């Protein structure tokens, strides 16, 4: 017997059931996310940090941190680590994500593996439709705008060698800022006076940022150091490793100042990470979604509110998307998502 075609009403009924199922699944997913988030919404941090310092080192991979000079790239043999203070003194008293031998992973947010989309991940905590370094200003609220809206423009200080970050995140002119020396020509004057080599711009930007850290009157201080990535793209491995040693000295200054302020009763937290890692061998200077190693990121934390677990961190895989919520939580803000890195925090 021949099968009769379904009537138009039957077809509409089938589609209605399908769409009804999709809507039901969507509602359940939203409800589940709300239930997970609600635990954070109802328990803001009672004793927040007075200041959170976020420092990014552009395009820094873990090899030189923990294994020293790459024998395939270096002209001579060297020490076991190029950042001894960071790896042997700061991290053991803080927390480190990305050490896979200990079971933790820290990865890209945006999957493309280049700088601007990764900074979008850090400051928005979400995926954005940015697939190149020349993206326009980000839409919607960011970590920076929320700090300003909550605490006022004087609560934020923003210093970066990567000049495009200020316009990308619409940092107001009234906020203390340096983006590649656009404020008071600090970097340009430094280079003209002393001559320029890779790392000098980072040095100038850090020196100004450090003054503001010592003033102890900001809620969020961002310090973005970029010239490691420039050295990588220029295939200047000697410069890359020299700058890493300089970064280690900067961290030593920061930690000493943080310890000093904590001793006076202030609560200060330092978060250090990178926007992307890089390749190895002949691809060591490159990074993007198709280059192996690009997504092997890391994050270190130190100071108030941080569990002193060192490398022994266990928990879910984390990414750059989790940085914003974690900083907002440390500042006592009501976080909108449940991706706070609780495994590295001292949560009451």
pLDDT, one tens digit per residue, over 130-182 is: 999 989 899 999 999 999 999 998 999 999 999 899 999 999 888 888 886 44
pLDDT at 316: 87
State both tokens at 325: 């919520």
- Smallest CA-to-CA distance from 147 within 48, 284, 293 is with 48
> Residues for the chain: how many in total?
348
Cα torsion through 32, 35, 38, 40, rounded to 10: -70
Buried b (16+ CB within 10 A) or exposed e, 239-270: bbbbbbebbbebbbebbebbeebeeeeebbbb
For 77, counting Cβ atoms within 10 Å of its Cβ (0-12 exposed, 13-18 middle, 19+ buried), the class is exposed
What's the pLDDT score for residue 35? 42
Neighbouring residues of 41: CB distance < 8 A, sequence distance ≥ 6 = 334, 335
pTM over 0.75: yes
Dig out the tokens for 102 from the structure.
Answer: 């200990």
Coil, helix or strand for 116?
Answer: helix
Closest listed residue to residue 143, CA positions, set 325, 336, 348: 325
Residue spans of the chain under pLDDT 50: 1, 3, 8, 11-12, 15, 22-23, 25-42, 181-188, 190-191
Question: Residue 337: exposed, middle, or buried by beta-carbon count in 10 A (0-12, 13-18, 19+)?
Answer: middle
First-residue to last-residue Cα distance in the chain: 72
pLDDT of residue 34: 41
pLDDT at 27: 43
Structure confidence at residue 148 (pLDDT):
95
pLDDT at 13: 55
For residue 31, give every residue at least 6 positions away whose Cβ sits within 8 Å of its Cβ, in sequence order, or none: none
CA distance 193 to 187: 10
Q: Give, in degrees to the nearest 5, the angle at Cα 191 between 62 and 209.
A: 55
Domain made up of 47-344: CATH architecture: 3-Layer(aba) Sandwich (3.40)
pLDDT score for 205: 93
- The answer to whether 225 and 205 have CB atoms below 8 angstroms apart is yes
Rounded CA separation 269/70 (Å): 32
| Strand stretches in the chain, DSSP E | 51-57, 95-97, 106-107, 156-160, 176-179, 220-225, 268-273, 299-303, 318-319
- Residues contacting residue 176 through CB under 8 Å, at least 6 positions apart: 156, 157, 158, 183, 212, 218
């Amino acid at each position: 017997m021949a099968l009769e075609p379904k009537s138009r009403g039957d077809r509409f009924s089938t589609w209605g059931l399908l769409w009804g199922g999709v809507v039901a699944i969507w509602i359940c997913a939203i409800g589940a996310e709300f239930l997970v988030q609600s635990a954070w919404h109802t328990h803001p941090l009672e004793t927040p940090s007075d200041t959170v310092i976020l420092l990014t080192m552009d395009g820094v991979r873990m090899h030189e941190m923990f294994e020293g000079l790459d024998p395939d790239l270096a002209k001579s043999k060297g020490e076991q680590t190029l950042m001894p203070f960071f790896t042997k003194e700061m991290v053991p008293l803080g927390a480190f994500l990305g050490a896979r031998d200990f079971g933790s992973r820290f990865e890209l947010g945006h999957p493309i593996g280049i700088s601007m989309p990764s900074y979008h991940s850090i400051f928005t905590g979400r995926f954005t439709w940015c697939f190149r370094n020349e993206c326009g200003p980000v839409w919607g609220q960011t970590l920076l705008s929320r700090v300003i809206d909550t605490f006022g423009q004087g609560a934020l200080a923003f210093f970066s060698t990567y000049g495009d970050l200020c316009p990308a995140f619409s940092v107001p002119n009234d906020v203390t800022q340096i983006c590649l020396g656009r404020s008071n020509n600090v970097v340009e004057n430094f280079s003209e006076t002393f001559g320029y080599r890779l790392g000098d711009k980072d040095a100038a930007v850090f020196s100004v940022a450090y003054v503001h850290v010592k003033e102890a009157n900001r809620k969020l201080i961002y310090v973005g150091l970029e010239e490691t990535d420039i050295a990588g793209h220029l295939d200047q491995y000697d410069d890359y490793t020299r700058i890493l040693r300089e970064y280690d000295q900067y961290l030593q200054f920061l930690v000493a100042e943080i310890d000093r302020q904590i001793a006076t009763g202030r609560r200060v937290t330092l978060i250090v990470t990178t926007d992307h890692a890089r390749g190895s061998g002949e691809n060591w200077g490159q990074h993007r979604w198709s280059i192996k190693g690009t997504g092997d990121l890391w994050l270190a934390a130190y100071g108030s509110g941080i569990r002193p677990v060192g490398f022994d961190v266990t928990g879910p895989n984390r990414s750059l998307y989790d940085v914003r919520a974690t900083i907002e939580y440390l500042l006592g803000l009501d976080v909108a998502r449940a991706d706070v890195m609780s495994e590295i925090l001292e949560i009451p």
